[in-house]
Copies of this chain bind each other. A is one copy, B any other.
Amino acid sequence: MQNINTYVQEHKDRFINELIELLKIPSVSADTAYKDDVIKTAAEIQKSLLAAGCDHVEICETPGYPIVYGEKIIDTNLPTVLVYGHYDVQPPDPIDLWDSPPFEPVIKKTEIHPEGAIFARGSCDDKGQMYMHVKALEIMTKTGQLPCNVKFMIEGEEEVGSKSLGWFVERNQEKLANDVILISDTGMIAKDVPSITTGLRGLSYVEVEVTGPNRDLHSGLYGGAVANPINILTKMIASLHDEKNHITIPGFYDKVENLSNEERAEMAKAPFSLDAYKKSLDINAVYGEDGYTTNERNSIRPTLDVNGIWGGYTGEGAKTVIASKAYAKISMRLVPNQDWEEITQLFKKHFESIAPEAVTVKVTPHHGGQGYVTPIDNIGYQAASKAYQDSFGKTPIPQRSGGSIPIVSLFEKELKSKTILMGFGLDSDAIHSPNEHFGVWNYLKGIETIPLFYKYFTELSKS
């Protein structure tokens, strides 16, 4: 499909500028202060889908933020690809660690991205990767090469647990009917090592609150005699891992899928340098569960991380206070077969049970999702593999990701179709971190590769 590459070359500046405009809107779904911007972003997505050639695009209201639905049906006898993505982004804080404002995109060259990378919150996760599909549609329609039907479902609550998506999918199964779901919200191993994500971890995200005395106390007058909620919280959290870094919640590992040595050996073939990994993070040593490699710890093993903690005086200087309350946000990454709602209950039960009598504990589940696996003999996977072979000249490596896209298992349940995760970002793109960026090369390579997926998927569907 040579003329596709030609089209990309002729229009790449516009493709980049259109994405930059989209990145300027701070669509932070976690913070209601950005509500208007999130809604404004949905409207922009609608415009871009119409411009790309969709026959019909609508902004669908939900109990939360709207979902943008678009479609181009060329022949109901042909297969249908459903593209999923999200237009909301993670909160930008800590703001002061950004080298440039998170919502004022700039293109800068980096060691890994000599062609330049777009620095902005959402550049990779997921506005940039989602927009690749919009531009791929534009190319296929403008060059008369759209081989099948396409539907888009772009949501605005992915970063807060896709609260309304299940509600929407359940109510629109016919509208969303498809033969394969295509998502670009993951990464690949390296620019010269294309990979397709075949597994995702599930997630259980909770918030805990420990309450001691009914008011903040003077640490001199009460120190040593009253339970300090912060000290207690640290003790409780510390006890959630044993000395081998196993998670101590009773029943937590009961349903964990244990990979065979063969599977682990297969995984171990992926190129990985522990030294380069440590160097890229400026750490002297990695840290994790005994008996597993770094790549296993962050993909096939469940984990428990504190994502935020706060309590007492955190301002300038010193305050000798015993806080009345201490808080933490805790998330657990789950592997296939672990049920996130069951794990959430196990956590709640255990955490409440280890609280000393001197405090009261509240556990509030935030959200969660199930893990997921795509078999590599699935024709969607094979179409994607052929597409990468054409555009990268290499067979992509099937990869388990440590991340979670909770809705993938929901799609399988409600829409009875498999999801193909074609990610073009890199781990070093700092998604969810300050200075998130997305390589211009990766962005354009993604736009080139996606139409090839449509081509091969349509062909393989016929046979």
Contact = CB atoms under 8 A, between A and B. Distances in A.
A219 to B, nearest CB: 5
Contacts of A172: none
Contacts of A203: 220, 320
A312 B309 contact: yes
How many copies of this chain does one complex carry?
2
Interface string A329-359: 1010100000000000000000000001111
A363 to B, nearest CB: 14
A305 B322 contact: yes
A309 B230 CA distance: 7
A21 interface: no
A192 interface: no
Contact of A215 (B93, B223, B234, B435): B435
A281 interface: yes
A318 B307 contact: yes
B220 A313 contact: no
A289 B228 CA distance: 13
A323 interface: yes
Given A30-B315, A318-B366, A434 B220 contact: no
Interface residues of A, number: 104
Query: Counting chain B CB atoms within 10 Å of each CB, which of A30, A356, A360 scores highest?
Result: A30
B309 A321 contact: no
A97 interface: yes
Nearest to A311: B309
A412 interface: no
Interface string A211-223: 0111111111111
Contact of A228 (B93, B207, B305): B305
A402 interface: yes
A266 interface: no
Query: Counting chain B CB atoms within 10 Å of each CB, which of A203, A312, A317 scores highest?
Result: A317
Nearest to A302: B224
Interface string A107-137: 0000000000000000000000000000000
Contact of A433 (B93, B212, B215): B215
A30 B305 contact: no
A318 B294 contact: no
A187 B326 CA distance: 27
The 5 closest A-B pairs by CB, nearest first: A220-B403, A224-B303, A30-B317, A227-B287, A308-B312
Interface of A: 29-32, 90-91, 93-94, 97, 159-161, 187, 201, 203, 205, 207, 212-228, 230-235, 237-239, 241, 281-289, 294-295, 297-298, 301-303, 305-324, 326-329, 331, 333, 356-360, 366-367, 401-404, 427, 430-435
